[in-house]
Structure 1
Amino acid sequence: MTRPIRVLIVDDDALVRAGLAMILGGVADIDIVAQAGDGAEVPPLVAEHRPDVVLMDIRMPGVDGLTATEALRAAKSPPEVVVLTTFHADAQVVRALRAGAAGFLLKDIPPGDLVEAIRRVAAGEPILSPAVTRQLITHVSDGGADRRADRARGLLGRLSEREREVALAVGQGRSNADIGRELYMSVATVKAHVSRILTKLELNNRVQIALTVHDARAGGSP
């Protein structure tokens, strides 16, 4: 990006907000445009400041981070959302990922890793690998597995054979370059396939593709 990455911090703990602001405030290519202590404050702040990335706490009084994430990602041209949590395995984190969050970060993340994660998300890259996604889902039972498996298999059925191969490779954590080498296509062609997959499946990002592949496999080989 040629301009600073615009970040909105959302956490009900003022000390957490202050700590994140202090860490990110000294980074030249990051601009903290606003802070919020409740999910209810998020929509008007997003409309006013147009952040690129929202750091979203999950557990907040009033409107929680999950509800705010679902509302944001359902809107037109939404910002990227990174969930902040104190738990490695959390059913609400899984739900946030299904809603389109680009990944999650633990609140005790080292400052350098936090900055790099924001840069990656702003560049359109997920910060949660499919391997971590699978591990997270395996340890969290949030119900509806059979229903999701049926839906995921139906979604994958919309894809052409080549698109399906790319989707499965994304679900295995392959980069675009790896997929290109494996399937004998250029990186540009892989990107075009990923874009079509997202459109056909009505998904927001690669994390959701990985979740769909995982869900389909939970009901049998996709």
Structure 2
Amino acid sequence: MEIRNESQAASDFLIKNNSVSTSYHLAPHSGLPSMWPGFLTGQAEQPVRVLLIDDDPHMSRVIAHELLADLRINLLGQGGSVREGRRLISQNEFDVMLVDLNLGDGTGFALIEYMKTVRPMAEAIVISAMEDEQHALHAFELGATGYLVKNSWFGNFPQAVLQVVNGGASITPNLARRLLNKFEQPQNNVQTLQENKNKEKLSEREKQVLKLVASGYTSTEIGSRLIISGQTVNTHIKNIYRKLNVRTRAQAVSFAASRGLF
């Protein structure tokens, strides 16, 4: 007779019953995670707490399986609707929410807004079938820090969670490239150009920092690339927030992309 441990059985139960939105406190079931520096958030002894909201049963199983296979991740619960998502958000202390945009009774945008009201320190990652710049920019404006296109991101959901919880951003590469290309497009609107000159002008160093933020690097990684301290990077980021009148890294990237500030 095959004997399975309690963690494996709990994992199988969650994956097979992903439509149930009751909160779970489960430990992952597989081997050791890949190398992960001890100073970053998300260790086996203190994993990142995650909620998953998606009404696609197959996709939910795929994502749940990947999350449960990583010791650095603790999947607290799953839901398949805005109603279930709101309940999970209000009832759980969590770090990251993975959310689809198209839910049966509403949109993931509504859940991102609600999450930022109830759990302002939590991060949101969109998981969508739509590789669309406007949807991504709107999600970032609402406070999301990641946008993953479902059919091009298999095998990387745990890494995306760990990126955003450590101050980075996680965007499907093809979509990230298209967003970055917007930085190079000339602005023909005279009023926008004048606003950029008088109010929103970034220094060359601030532009360098913001481009690296848009590529998903943390403050420590940006400092290493620019040969400056992480504290100096954070000072530049604060100045960018002030100049662009935004509050998060994702909002700064979205604002700069939409106005061609690079």
TM-score by length of structure 2 reads: 0.65
Contact 2:132 2:175 in 1 (8 A): no
Deviation at 1:216, TM superposition (A): 2.6
Are residues 1:198 and 2:237 paired?
no
Say whether residues 1:29 and 2:72 are aligned partners: yes
Unaligned stretches of 5+ residues in structure 1: 140-144
Given that 1:6 and 1:32 are in contact with CA atoms closer than 8 Å, whether structure 2 keeps it comes out as yes
Q: Tell which deviates more after alignment, 60-69 or 14-23.
A: 14-23
Q: Distance in 1 between matches of 2:103 and 2:61?
A: 16
Q: Is the 8 A contact 2:53 2:79 kept in 1?
A: yes
User: How large is the RMSD of aligned CA atoms in angstroms?
Assistant: 3.5
Q: Relative to structure 1, is the Cα distance of residues 40 and 5 closer, same or farther in structure 2, using a 3 angstrom cutoff?
A: same
> What is the number of equivalent residue pairs in this alignment?
206
Residue in structure 2 matching 1:66, options 109, 119, 126: 109
Residue identity matched to 1:172: K
More helix, by proportion: 1
Distance in 2 (CA, whole Å) between partners of 1:190 and 1:92 is: 29
Instruction: Name which one, 1 or 2, has greater alpha-carbon Rg.
Output: 2
Aligned residue identity for 1:204: T
Match for residue 169 of structure 2?
126
Contact (CA 8 Å) 1:131, 1:172: kept in 2 or not?
no
Matching residue within 56, 61, 64 for 1:18: 61
Shift in Å at residue 196 of structure 1?
4.6
Query: CA offset at residue 150 of structure 1?
Result: 7.7
Residue 138 of structure 2 corresponds to residue 99 of structure 1: no
Q: CA deviation at 1:180?
A: 7.4
Counterpart residue identity of residue 42, structure 1? G
In structure 2, the partner of 1:142 is none
| Amino acid corresponding to residue 46 of structure 1 in structure 2 | I
Deviation at 1:10, TM superposition (A): 0.3
- Give 2:199's aligned amino acid: G
Matches of 1:120 and 1:181, distance apart in 2? 17
Residues 161-188 of structure 1 deviation map (CA, whole Å, 9 limit, x = unaligned): 6xx4444223433655556775x74332
Q: Give how far 1:88 is off.
A: 2.0
Kindly provide the amino acid, as one letter, of the partner of residue 129 in structure 2. Answer: T
Task: Kindly indicate whether the alpha-carbon contact (under 8 Å) linking 2:51 and 2:77 is maintained by their aligned counterparts in 1.
Answer: yes
Residue identity (%) = 21
Give TM-score scaled by structure 1 length: 0.75
Matched position secondary structure for 1:116: helix
